[in-house]
Chains A and B, each alone.
Chain A
Amino acid sequence: MADKVRSLQEVVASIADGANLTFGGFAAYFTPLALVRELIRQGKRELEMTSVAECWVADYLAGAGVLKRARFSNFMFEGLGRCQNFARGVERGEIEVEDYSHFAITSRLVAAGLGVPFLPIKPMAGTDLMRKQSFDAEKARPFACPFTGESVLLVPAVRPDVAVIHASRADREGNTQLFGYTSVVDEQARAAQRVIVTTEEVVEDTVIRAQPELTVLPGFLVDAVVEVPFGAHPTGMYRYYDPDFEFMRDYYAASRDPAAFRAHLEEWVLGPGDHWAYLRKVGLRRLLALRSDPGLGIAHMHARTVT
Chain B
Amino acid sequence: MSTNKRKGAANGVTRQEIMAVTAAREIRDGEVAFIGTGLPMVAAYLAKYTHAPSSVLIFESGVVGAQPKELATGVGDLRLLHGCIKATGLYYALSLLQGGFVDIGFLGAAEVDQYGNLNSTAIGDYRRPTVRLPGSGGANDIGSLARRLLIMVPHERRRLVPRVQYLTTPGFLDGPGARERAGLRGEGPTRVITDLAVLDFDPASKRMRVATVHPGVTVEDVEARTGFPLLRAPRVGETALPSAEEVRLLRERIDPEGIYIGSKG
CA distance A101 to B135 in the complex (A): 8
- Asked if residues B128 and A91 are in contact (CB atoms below 8 Å), the reply is yes
Which residue of chain B is the closest to A238 with respect to CB atoms? B78
- Asked if residues B78 and A102 are in contact (CB atoms below 8 Å), the reply is no
Within 8 Å of chain A (Cβ to Cβ): is B137?
Answer: yes
Which residue of chain A is the closest to B134 with respect to CB atoms? A76
B82 cross-chain contacts in A, Cβ below 8 A: 296-298
B138 cross-chain contacts in A, Cβ below 8 A: 73-74, 101-103
Name the prevailing secondary structure of the B interface residues: loop
Within 8 Å of chain B (Cβ to Cβ): is A271?
Answer: no
- Asked if residues A53 and B74 are in contact (CB atoms below 8 Å), the reply is no
Which of B128, B141, B168, B179 counts the most A-chain CB atoms under 10 A from its CB? B141
CA distance A152 to B129 in the complex (A): 30
From A74, A132, A296, give the contact of B135 (CB < 8 A): A74
- Asked if residues B141 and A102 are in contact (CB atoms below 8 Å), the reply is yes
- Asked if residues A125 and B144 are in contact (CB atoms below 8 Å), the reply is yes
Within 8 Å of chain A (Cβ to Cβ): is B184?
Answer: yes
B121 cross-chain contacts in A, Cβ below 8 A: 99, 128-129
Q: How many residues of B contact A (CB 8 A)?
A: 57
Q: 0/1 per residue, A20-41, Cβ < 8 Å to B? A: 0000001111000000000000
Identify the stretch in B4-12, B21-29, B56-64, B211-219 within 8 Å (CB) of chain A at 4 or more residues.
Answer: B56-64
Q: 0/1 per residue, A275-301, Cβ < 8 Å to B? A: 000000000000000000000111001
Distance (whole angstroms) from the CB of B59 to the closest CB of chain A: 8
* Given A134-B127, A181-B81, A297-B81: A26 in contact with B168 (beta carbons within 8 A): no
B98 cross-chain contacts in A, Cβ below 8 A: 103, 121-123
- Asked if residues B126 and A132 are in contact (CB atoms below 8 Å), the reply is yes
- Asked if residues B76 and A78 are in contact (CB atoms below 8 Å), the reply is yes
Distance (whole angstroms) from the CB of A190 to the closest CB of chain B: 11
- Asked if residues A75 and B94 are in contact (CB atoms below 8 Å), the reply is no
Identify the stretch in A79-87, A157-165, A193-201, A221-229 within 8 Å (CB) of chain B at 4 or more residues.
Answer: A79-87
Which residue of chain B is the closest to A109 with respect to CB atoms? B91
Which residue of chain B is the closest to A127 with respect to CB atoms? B167
CA distance A296 to B69 in the complex (A): 13
CA distance A122 to B167 in the complex (A): 16
Within 8 Å of chain B (Cβ to Cβ): is A106?
Answer: yes
CA distance A296 to B194 in the complex (A): 36
Distance (whole angstroms) from the CB of B136 to the closest CB of chain A: 5
From B60, B79, B88, B144, give the contact of A124 (CB < 8 A): B144
Within 8 Å of chain B (Cβ to Cβ): is A90?
Answer: yes
Q: How many residues of A contact B (CB 8 A)?
A: 61
- Asked if residues A99 and B135 are in contact (CB atoms below 8 Å), the reply is yes
A86 cross-chain contacts in B, Cβ below 8 A: 132
- Asked if residues A122 and B184 are in contact (CB atoms below 8 Å), the reply is yes
Within 8 Å of chain B (Cβ to Cβ): is A274?
Answer: no
Which of B61, B126, B140 counts the most A-chain CB atoms under 10 A from its CB? B140
- Asked if residues B178 and A238 are in contact (CB atoms below 8 Å), the reply is no
Within 8 Å of chain A (Cβ to Cβ): is B228?
Answer: no
- Asked if residues B74 and A123 are in contact (CB atoms below 8 Å), the reply is no
- B72-88 residues at the A interface, CB under 8 angstroms: 73-79, 81-82, 87-88
CA distance A181 to B145 in the complex (A): 23
- Asked if residues A102 and B136 are in contact (CB atoms below 8 Å), the reply is yes
CA distance A242 to B82 in the complex (A): 14
Instruction: Point out residues on B near A: beta carbons under 8 Å.
Output: 37, 60-63, 70, 73-79, 81-82, 87-91, 94-95, 97-98, 117, 121, 126-141, 144-145, 166-170, 173, 178-179, 181-185
Closest 7 CB pairs of A and B: A27-B76, A78-B74, A151-B183, A74-B137, A126-B182, A181-B62, A76-B134
In the complex, 14 of the A-B residue pairs with CB atoms within 8 angstroms, ordered by the A residue number, are A53-B90, A73-B136, A91-B130, A102-B60, A103-B95, A103-B138, A122-B98, A126-B173, A126-B178, A127-B140, A128-B121, A132-B126, A134-B127, A242-B78
Instruction: Point out residues on A near B: beta carbons under 8 Å.
Output: 26-29, 52-53, 72-76, 78-79, 82-83, 86-87, 90-91, 93, 96-97, 99-104, 106, 110, 121-129, 132, 134, 142, 150-153, 180-187, 236, 238, 242, 296-298, 301
